[in-house]
A and B are shown apart, each in its own frame.
Chain A
Amino acid sequence: MKKLIWVLLALVLVSSLVLSGCNQEMGTTTSPISPSATTGKTTETPATTKTQSSTTPKSEKYGGTLIMASTLPVRNLGYPGYATSPGDPFYSCPAIESLIDSEYGTYVPRLAKSWDIAEDGKSVTFHLQEGVKFHDGTIMDAEAIKFCFDIARQGERTELRVVNSIDVLGDYTVRFNLDHFDWTFMSTLAICEFARVYSPLAIQTYTPEELATHPVGTGPFKFVDYKRDAYIKYERFDDYWQKDADGNQLPYLDAVEIRMYGEATTGLLAFKAGELHRWDIQVQDIEDIEASGFVVSESIGGQSIIYPDGANPESPFSDVRVRQALAYAIDRVGITEAVGEGYWDPGYQMVGDWSEFGYNPDVKGYPYDPDKARQLLKEAGYANGFKTTIITEMVSDTILAMQENLAAVGIEAKIQEMSQTATVELMWNGWDGLIIGGLGWKGGHADIMSSLVTGYLTPGLRVSMIYPPEVDELVEKIKSEQDLVQRKALMDELEIVFIDKYCVNIPLFETTGFTAMVPYLHGMNIEESFWSSQGKLEKVWLSEK
């Protein structure tokens, strides 16, 4: 009996010691920021709004710390030319800016206020913003750009190899001399992390490994601290070059913290518990998130594509009729309604109708028609069907539905699930059958050239996917055509040749990503951001600090 009393007493003491800490407010890194700030539970559902009234007094916009998070790893945030990974733009966006930005399929000024493309396409001259400083106090001028990009174009990433040299024409005028004009050069400047603007002083002071987690740029926030697998912190850069429409100094926020989660479920729970201001969610979470009082915004989207091994002469898919049969066999509308919950769109060509720069309404495409599919297979000599493999990273309802569709026309598809790295490895070395791949990006920020690059110009795909010379020629013309009207005409022609004539690959669905935000987060403008989690943070503000 005495023993039991001792044990219980010990339990009480330990519990009181621990729980005494719970009475204090959460530390600065975990301040509650749920819709109902008093209890952490949602007791009511406030009206969800995507935009805030512009009559808010400007002084109330200042202050607060924006807390975001991601599950993506950090690779290289601050050294030009070194390889980067998809998460890097997100983690570095508070501090690093690019020369130009991509919006709605075209390019807009950022650190370069304007540019001139030479008539012969052999050079692009950028006119830089004046009065821009790096976080270390040095000036962003033409010399700085030349220094930074001379390193970038000779680094591990070869997208800037088209640049032969860089000339300084004035304090704020710099010319890139090209081997030949290529729109992917402009696309690289707009969207590639390694081709952003970094401080030359920092590059000369720190090693690439140090800069990889210590970015020094011109952005609205300057680097403060980085803890691996935990967070990266930034604080307001008082000498930031931009002001808002009323002439007030930007940014509005005091600080930005980006946390790193190893598990997406933990991130979602952290968001719902009020520890984050925003989090990327799946389509199936939308209803629950909105019911909890948060705001959901459509963000980055992409396209799901089937890549058949048409270049393999022994494959049934080497026959264009079989590829077309495959395209006719899939019920895209049915799948998008069932799986996409109304947020997906069927995809019938390389670029969806959200883009004026790439979509061609004259493309016939391959609407669902299993009878037509069977007829084509019969013409190709596969009246009894054949067996193939679908290689995918995840066996989802979509894949299973597609398997059923193919079986209905006689194509017996075995599903082979592989990791992402294994799938990419196959794309480089060749595959048998069908690979389900992705293609970015859609929406207001999308850049046609980047879509072409990832969906067609990816070098590895040439091993197994067909590359008709006619398509290659058109793509090369598009890359170098400076006139946007003419480029659009070439894109229209490409869509017809790529899809209707050769059926090089089979677009499936236009998917959409979603970002959940607390209702008092303003100015994020997810829809206009290139990367789902990369906003122009200088104009972001919190109405509850």
Chain B
Amino acid sequence: MASYVIRRLLIGALVLFLVSVIVFLLVRLLPGDPLTAFVGEGELGTLTPESRALLMARFGLDKSLTMQYVDWVTGLFRGDLGQSIAHGQDISSLVAYSLPITAHVGALSLMIIVFFGITFGVICALKRGTWIDTVLTLLANLGITMPSFWLGILSIYFFSLLLGWLPTSGYTSPFEDFWLSTRQLILPVMVIASTGMAGLVRLGRTVMLEVMMQDYVRTAWAKGLRERVIIVRHELKNAMIPIITVLGMMIGMVFSGSVIVETIFNIPGMGRLTVTALFDKDYQVVQFSVLMMGAIIILSNLIVDISYGWFDPRIRLN
């Protein structure tokens, strides 16, 4: 197991290196530069060549591409994440502020996805063919097809504007005002969770139906075990392998999906930081955000792979 983990980590490091090169080059292929985004069209037009040169030097854009990459990577190894051009701050301070917010929203969304997605998927399988199955499957199909941007705006319009039940947007730390924080997060968490939940319901239903047809399940019924024991210990546990695989992918999806939701709901998390950095051509922020996303996905996949062994002893023994 240890050698497996080390091997996966080494491969992950190689992947991250490739990601760093690709994102470094790609972001610079986009038209424009941080200067034009920083100053804005209205004021950029009035900049003299001298002003422009001073700003390029301040942002380190006067160096060669190779030197910019080397400076960035060596800085990462020193713990220096770089400087944001747009915000004029260390990226570490930006991330220290934004990452917990995204983690908060993401964790809540994942909890809802896991709990309701698996629960409803199991219910659909157990009640297949009934009106419950029909309704839940229909909702799941809708959840998958509805784009989060559209769903977000619509939910604000309905729950905030028409009904006046919830705030339109914003984020408050739960330690500052727990109830305001909760009310502000209801809509964005539900929007992020909707797609994940829908996918998990459909997958859960399919996988549970397969497992329910297995011989060992029939044996368990024949032995007279209680329904709850059969579902939890025999059916659900065997259905978890593909579900965990999808959940691992969803961790990346939840963090990347937060890009749209955080922008719509005005949540100052990593997603919003990345989006504005992209529009601002804030190279170092984009580079670090993508690299961090890659690391999260690699780690989550690794955790998923390791967890297979816990759920399926056959994998452990092999």
| A interface residues, Cβ below 8 angstroms from B | 2-4, 7, 18, 21-22, 24, 26-27, 29-30, 32, 39-41, 73, 75-76, 83-87, 156-159, 161, 208-209, 212, 227-230, 259-263, 265-266, 269-270, 272-275, 418-425, 427-428, 438, 440, 453-454, 457-461
Task: Other than A208-B88, A275-B168, A460-B45, give 5 A-B pairs with Cβ distance below 8 A.
Answer: A21-B179, A157-B47, A158-B51, A161-B50, A266-B168
Question: Which residues from chain A contact B55 at a C-beta distance below 8 Å?
Answer: 83, 156
Residue of B nearest to A22 (CB): B165
Residue of B nearest to A193 (CB): B43
* B164 and A32 contacting across the interface, CB-CB below 8 Å: yes
* B87 and A265 contacting across the interface, CB-CB below 8 Å: no
The number of chain B residues with a CB under 8 A from chain A is 72
Question: Which residues from chain B contact A161 at a C-beta distance below 8 Å?
Answer: 50
What are the interface flags for B176-201 relative to A under an 8 Å C-beta threshold, 1 for contact and 0 otherwise?
01011011001000000000000000
Asked whether B133 is an interface residue with its Cβ less than 8 Å from the other chain, the reply is no
* B32 and A229 contacting across the interface, CB-CB below 8 Å: no
Shortest CB distance B165–A (Å)? 6
* B264 and A263 contacting across the interface, CB-CB below 8 Å: yes
Asked whether B46 is an interface residue with its Cβ less than 8 Å from the other chain, the reply is yes
* A454 and B263 contacting across the interface, CB-CB below 8 Å: no
Question: Which residues from chain A contact B51 at a C-beta distance below 8 Å?
Answer: 83, 156-158
Task: Name the contact of B39 in the complex, choosing from A85, A227, A438 (C-beta under 8 A).
Answer: A85
Dominant SS at the B interface?
helix
* A26 and B167 contacting across the interface, CB-CB below 8 Å: yes
Asked whether B231 is an interface residue with its Cβ less than 8 Å from the other chain, the reply is yes
* B94 and A228 contacting across the interface, CB-CB below 8 Å: yes
* A159 and B156 contacting across the interface, CB-CB below 8 Å: no
Can you list 10 A-B pairs, Cβ within 8 angstroms, ordered by A? A83-B38, A84-B39, A156-B51, A229-B276, A230-B170, A262-B263, A269-B160, A270-B168, A419-B32, A428-B36
A418–B272 Cα gap in the complex (Å)?
A: 22
A187–B103 Cα gap in the complex (Å)?
A: 47
* A21 and B177 contacting across the interface, CB-CB below 8 Å: no
Task: Name the contact of A21 in the complex, choosing from B160, B182, B231 (C-beta under 8 A).
Answer: B182
| B interface residues, Cβ below 8 angstroms from A | 31-33, 36-51, 54-55, 58, 86-89, 94, 97-98, 119, 122-123, 126-127, 132, 153, 156-157, 160-172, 177, 179-180, 182-183, 186, 227-228, 231, 262-266, 268, 272-273, 275-276, 280-281
Question: Which residues from chain B contact A26 at a C-beta distance below 8 Å?
Answer: 167, 180, 183
Shortest CB distance B104–A (Å)? 14
* A229 and B43 contacting across the interface, CB-CB below 8 Å: no
* A269 and B168 contacting across the interface, CB-CB below 8 Å: yes
* A454 and B45 contacting across the interface, CB-CB below 8 Å: yes
Knowing A157-B51, A418-B31, say if A230 contacts B186 (CB, 8 Å): no
Most chain B Cβ neighbours within 10 Å, of A7, A85, A275: A85
* B31 and A425 contacting across the interface, CB-CB below 8 Å: yes
A261–B170 Cα gap in the complex (Å)?
A: 9
Question: Which residues from chain A contact B231 at a C-beta distance below 8 Å?
Answer: 3
Question: Which residues from chain A contact B45 at a C-beta distance below 8 Å?
Answer: 424, 427, 453-454, 458, 460-461
Closest 6 CB pairs of A and B: A421-B32, A40-B164, A422-B31, A229-B268, A458-B45, A262-B263
